[in-house]
Amino acid sequence: MSEHPTIADIRGAAERITPFINRTPVLASTTINRITGGEVCFKCENFQKVGAFKIRGATNAVSKLSNDQLSRGVTTHSSGNHAAAVALAAASRNAKVVVVMPRSAPGVKKEAVAGYGATIVYCDPGHRAREAAMAAVVDDTGAHFIHPYDDNDVIEGQATAALELLQQVPGLDMIITPIGGGGLISGTALATHGLSPQTRVVGVEPEGADDAFRSFRAGKLIPVDEPRSIADGLLAPLSERTLQIIGQHVENVVTVSEEQIIHAMRTMWERMKIVVEPSAALPLAAIVAGKLDVSGARVGIIVSGGNVDMDRLPW
């Protein structure tokens, strides 16, 4: 496995992708501070292009491809946000995109991917079915596969969200992110380690998809067979690469229940007036549920995305 991205690599990624992404604002809320007892700020990647931080990694990965590679197209598998991100990033370089998606992905995410001009190949839910469909696409087309997280270029890109946050709000005691496959928290941990080593990084997982929680404690990959959660962006398993980075630079991984996720999501909608997807609510859910004590601490939360089907809200 290659070396992990350095802070210099991450700064390079930030320079590369800045023209193509939004510098998202950081919001705070008196009510949330009262509820949590901390001083909590929210890096709003739900306001990012494609509605999620995923455009950062996808844009960085695509921007490193040669014209020759791009001429054979790019491809990926994803429950949605990474797919939309790859589609948009590739479209800006006029490359063809094929996306493998589970049939069960939210309609709003399918539409977004198609709207950016990608071709969708549907597969059954589950990690293995996706990988198989993906391999077939690569065999057929020779397209370049951009993994949603097990890829240093993607991790470098995701790291730029924490890089920006630490520039916008210096001196944070803690940064909290959700964990799916581990791309966001890996990038966050590497950026934070390089830029603000005294800031602790913590990850939050759904109880029903807690492979990172188990793997972090065991020190080796412990997959979950049938991960289930309303946080559809967090069902993917860690890779050796992301587990290694988490093991080195993340202080703790905690879990939250479905009810706690929905409650925190609704709190963010009602109190902060922002639309966030279930995955983005996990950090606040962990605090409100008492899984993380932030009293008196200055805390940054990366709000991972805001793509929600308005006809299927969980309340």
Residue from 68, 139, 225, 311 touching a copy of itself (CB under 8 A): that is: 311
Dihedral pair phi/psi, residue 45, rounded to 5°: -75, -5
Spatial contact of 299 and 192, defined as CB atoms under 8 Å apart: no
Which helix (H) or strand (E) is 301 found in, with range?
strand 298-303
Report the Cα 55 to chain-centroid distance in Å: 10
Would you say 51 or 180 has its CB closer to a copy of itself? 51
Angle (CA) 4 243 236, round 5°: 115
Which 274-303 residues touch a copy of itself, going by CB under 8 A?
A: 274-276
* 139 is a contact residue toward a copy of itself (CB under 8 A): no
> Of 63-71, 146-154, 233-241, 304-312, which part binds a copy of itself (CB under 8 A)?
304-312
Would you say 64 or 271 has its CB closer to a copy of itself? 271
User: Tokens for 158?
Assistant: 């995701």
Would you say 234 or 262 has its CB closer to a copy of itself? 262
Residues 6 or more apart whose Cβ sits within 8 Å of residue 140: none
Binding mask of the shown chain, residues 27 to 46, with x at each position contacting a copy of itself by CB under 8 A: x--x-------------x-x
* 178 is a contact residue toward a copy of itself (CB under 8 A): no
* 51 is a contact residue toward a copy of itself (CB under 8 A): yes
Would you say 206 or 306 has its CB closer to a copy of itself? 306
d(CA 54, CA 280): 13
E-strand spans in 64-191?
74-77, 97-102, 119-123, 144-145, 174-178
d(CA 241, CA 31): 38
Binding mask of the shown chain, residues 248 to 267, with x at each position contacting a copy of itself by CB under 8 A: ------------------x-
Contact residues toward a copy of itself (CB under 8 A) are: 25, 27, 30, 44, 46-47, 49, 51, 108, 266, 269-270, 272-276, 306, 310-311, 313, 315
